[in-house]
Amino acid sequence: MKKLKFQKPTGMHDILGFDQRCFEKISDKVKEIAEFYSFNKIDTPILEDCELFNKGVGLITDIIQKEMYTLKTKGGDCLALRPEGTASVVRAYIEHGMFSYPQPVKLYYMGPFFRYERPQSGRYRQFWQFGFETIGEDHPVYDAQIIQIACGFFSDLNIAISLEINSIGDKECRPAYRRILVRYLKSKSEALCSDCKKRTKDNPLRVLDCKNQKCKEIIDGAPQIMDHLCPDCHSHFKKTLEYLDEMEVSYQLNPHLVRGLDYYTRTVFEFSTLKENEKTLALGGGGRYDKLVKNLGGKDTPAVGVSFGVERIAELMKQINYTDNKKQKNRVFLAQLGDIGKRKSLKLMGELRKHKVATSESFGKDSLKTQMTRASRIGCKVAIIIGQTEALNNSAIIKDMDTGEQKTIEIKDIVMEIKRQLKS
């Protein structure tokens, strides 16, 4: 096959057709949930200062070391295509002095993000995320509320999910655990993969989520952070789980869940599809990041949040044959014949729009048969036909697409009649 002159960049994709409808549905649902829980929308720039992510996400993470798209501007600034949303939201929180707002400040977002990863099914270099961030409260009830929001979202879309949760402590207890873990890993160093040998030095907690089979056996015997949490972290985690129990949210404790970003403290969690014995890509993940605001130059401010991969959710909607016919069912098809028919139809379409009646057409086609076939394919409930005779008489035929019944009425009465038929 002849190679096209231009193709989309590797790992990036066009969002079309059914995918676009899934994206829209997800976006509507996110907005509805955000409004219910009083989250305000924030859009941040696609490009940010590289240092924001170096400091926020952490230098010794895959995102910063391998995956960030960076560029130098003509003015010499180093900018990065945002690989995630939390650091940007926190930057905006500080920059707009949101610590003076009533706390917590609740913000949500949806948009494209960029990571230079090896493309595979469900993993892209440009992908969409939506996320919720609650900034300015350290109470565990907000960890549980973020999880409740996520569970509500999936339940509304009929997507079964599993939730894994862990606590990775804070600056009081994590350094001591880190030392114990490093001692253990060093004692098994011979058997670790080369990445994990390196991680033992740089970022030992990341060894815990290595997927290499040999490493996994060693990780299974590793000391667990749960046994080393300080009293405050222990109590925070216990309370979070009690809230989840109260809400009857099912979860699995995963002592090896550490997440790939460095800003987390205490609670971390991940959502995946519910498929037995099958390792699936995460649909979303998040946790508490009580030190990020301070680390990025703001006041000491606790926070918790989550974000989700939109493509991965859209793919699941495809698999469960998600359908949303409602919009199509209330659609009208406007068919016409001849020049005067077109003129009258174009004018009528303007009237229908004023009355918010969704209308499709094939103005470029002159065969009535072709137009009616299209009307059925779209799934329109009613068709309006303005043939040459009707155009001259200032009338139109209204056809019920389910029963085939039709009647002729004056054009001036069309909108009211259509609205009546769509309601019935």
Stretch that binds ligand HAM, among 31-39, 162-170, 238-246, 309-317 (CB under 6 A): 309-317
Applying CB under 6 A, among 262, 311, 361, 390 the residue interacting with ligand HAM is 311
Per-residue string for binding with ligand HAM, 251-270, x by CB under 6 A?
A: ---------xx---------
C-beta closer to ligand HAM: residue 306 or 396 = 306
Residue 305 interacting with ligand HAM (CB under 6 A): yes
Please give the residues from 270 up to 299 whose contact with ligand HAM meets the rule CB under 6 A. Answer: 282-287, 289
Annotate 395-415 with b (16+ C-beta within 10 A) or e (fewer). bbbbbebeeeeeeebebeebb
Distance CA 64, CA 115 (A): 9
Return the H-helix or E-strand segment holding 348.
Answer: helix 338-354
- In the complex, the smallest distance separating the C-beta of residue 296 from ligand HAM, rounded to whole angstroms, is 14
Residues 6+ apart with CB under 8 A from 311: 13, 19, 122, 124, 127, 128
Shortest distance (Å) from residue 312 CB to ligand HAM: 5
Locus of tokens 């509304």: 156
Beta pairing class for 78-81 and 382-386: unpaired
The answer to whether residue 131 forms part of the interface with ligand HAM (CB under 6 A) is: yes
Residue 361 engages ligand HAM in binding (rule: CB under 6 A) = no
- The least distance separating ligand HAM from the CB of residue 42, rounded to whole angstroms, comes to 13
Taking residues 44 to 73 in sequence order and writing x for each that binds ligand HAM by CB under 6 A, - otherwise, the string is ------------------------------
84 binds ligand HAM (CB under 6 A): yes
Kindly state the smallest distance separating residue 173's Cβ from ligand HAM, in Å.
Answer: 20
* Degrees to nearest 5, angle at CA 206 with 183 and 197: 55
Residues 93-122: x/- map of binding to ligand HAM (CB under 6 A)?
----------------------x-x-----
Of the residues 174, 199, 312, 381, which one makes contact with ligand HAM according to CB under 6 A: 312
Secondary element (H or E) of residue 396: strand 395-400
> Three-state SS for 406?
strand
3-state helix, strand, coil in the chain (%, to 5): 45, 20, 35
The CB-of-6 to ligand HAM minimum distance in angstroms stands at 23
Rounded to whole angstroms, how far apart are CA atoms 386 and 61?
A: 64
**What number of residues does the chain have?**
424
Residue whose C-beta lies closest to ligand HAM: 309
- Residues 6 or more apart whose CB falls under 8 angstroms from that of 196 comprise 185, 207, 210, 212, 215
Enumerate binding residues for ligand HAM (CB under 6 A): 84-86, 115, 117, 123-124, 127, 129, 131, 133, 260-261, 282-287, 289, 305-309, 311-312
